[in-house]
Amino acid sequence: MPRYVRAKGSIFFFTVVLAQRPNSLLIDEIIRLRHIYKIVQRRHPFETVAICVLPDHIHALWALPEGDANFSNRWSSIKSGFSRGLDAQTRSESKVGKREKGIWQRRYWEHAIRDEADFERHIDYIHFNPVKHGYVARVADWPHSSFHRFVEQGILAPDWGGDLRNIQGSFGE
């Protein structure tokens, strides 16, 4: 069992999704996403405990500084910074009126981490997500994940999560 070290401050899990699914924009523009993410992180500090960027959505676990729970401003800055310079997508009148490009869903899912078990569950969920969606058979094969940092730090084994290629048979419905 991994020994995760819980970060200080308020900890939140997020799912942030593109407006049009399926879509590969986040992977196609991964350099742009990483660049704006780092800029926002410098301007409004937060720790990225775990993250996984998939083609059309992001899962992240953030630790915010003590007394600062303004994740909304951070995500708004990331979304708008990423969108700047990209072509607008098909948009509703409402999005046009608000000068939105229609790239992101307006809202996102956030969840305040309650305890150690919740913290560990969400890290595991983030790292296993590319396998869940069928993008890879092994967690280690997805390049856009903090899983690799966890392996480098000795927190997770390189073969964590198993290998779906070794599972045979049909399960479930």
Q: What is the CATH number of the domain that holds 151?
A: 3.30.70.1290
Q: Provide the 10 A C-beta neighbour count for residue 148.
A: 16
For position 4, what pLDDT does the model report? 60
For position 164, what pLDDT does the model report? 74
Angle at 154 between CA 148 and CA 159, to 5 degrees: 60
Q: Does residue 141 lie within any of the structural domains?
A: yes
Within the chain, which residues score under 70 in pLDDT?
A: 1-9, 87-101, 167-173
Q: Provide the 10 A C-beta neighbour count for residue 29.
A: 17
Q: How many domains does the chain have?
A: 1
Q: Does residue 112 lie within any of the structural domains?
A: yes
For position 15, what pLDDT does the model report? 98
Q: Domain span at residue 134?
A: 10-166
For position 35, what pLDDT does the model report? 97
From residue 78, give the alpha-carbon distance in Å to each of 13, 23, 26, 36, 81: 16, 18, 12, 6, 5
For position 8, what pLDDT does the model report? 58
pTM reported for the whole predicted model: 0.85
Q: Does residue 3 lie within any of the structural domains?
A: no
Q: Does residue 23 lie within any of the structural domains?
A: yes
For position 95, what pLDDT does the model report? 44
Q: Does residue 44 lie within any of the structural domains?
A: yes
